[in-house]
Amino acid sequence: MEAGKIHAFSCPASHCQKQVLTLPRRSPLVRNGERPRRQTRACRSLEIRHPAKVLRCIAAASVAVESPTRTRTAGHPLKVMIAGAPAAGKGTQCQKIVDKFGLVHISAGDLLRAEVSSGSEAGRKAESFMKQGNLVPNELVVEMVKNRLSQEDAQKSGWLLDGYPRSAEQAEAIQEAGIKPDVFILIDVSDDELVERVTGRRLDPETNTIYHMKFKPPPDDVVDRLIQRSDDTEDSLRNRLATHHKNVEAVVGYYKDMLVEVNGQRTMDEVFAEIDGVLSAFTEDESPAHQR
């Protein structure tokens, strides 16, 4: 292994040798002409904090890693897709990405509701299916997404497509429509961690404040009136997670060449630091936020 091909990584001790992932050929973190076989899940392109661990990590993976290189054309807006299970922290990371990189945040669910509320032709068609209790056809949602992505703000600033596509059929449909990201971020959190996050939630019906019995304990004077939402139970969540995992496994196959898995079992700032490192490798200070 050539020392000149070792890039700087930060590897938490708990992940350095135990957890590994396959990085894509076009990953901004790897550019040596070959797809690396193994790499630590939590590695990110920042300063070396644990040099010895890094060397052991790379040696165990038997790969040589070079400095990140952008794969998109200079001057073109950044296009990002992001996915994650319920309670994985995707919403928080989306806001941080928008704040840092100035991307236009687009959620298919919000887009669908907005079209229905506006009374547009697409919205009226979608509403007719929804009133009958049927799923809105993929081609109709794809058309909405495609139209939104073609608007001036998304074309100029770049876009962050949140939680879509959610199935192989949707992924194939938007790919046929010519919609393809520069990077697909998947926030990875274990099911047990997600269960702990969700089942500990409690809602104050008087103030609509959401507490967590472990991470954000409520004041003593409101505990007795707190309620648990019906979809915050373990059974309900595990059913949703089973559907999520099935869909994600089908979707990521369409984006394996730009897939970056991010360990979501850390603080919000640590998770974003990894995402920031990945996206910064593409933008090289071209984002609107950096130009201010």
Residues belonging to the active site: 90, 166, 201, 229, 240
DSSP single-letter state for residue 135: P
Nearest-CA neighbor of 150 among 178, 190, 108?
178
**Exposure letters 58-71 (e unless 16+ CB within 10 A, then b):** beebebbbeebebb
Return all residues near 287 (Cβ < 8 A) that are at least 6 apart: 78, 100, 101, 102, 103, 158
Return all residues near 133 (Cβ < 8 A) that are at least 6 apart: none
Q: Which residue has the tokens 């898995």?
A: 261
Terminal C-alpha separation, the chain: 41
Return all residues near 120 (Cβ < 8 A) that are at least 6 apart: none
Token pair listed for 64: 């040589």
**Ramachandran quadrant class, 263 (left: phi over 0; alpha: psi -120 to 50; beta: rest):** beta
Handedness of CA 63, 65, 68, 71 (dihedral sign): negative
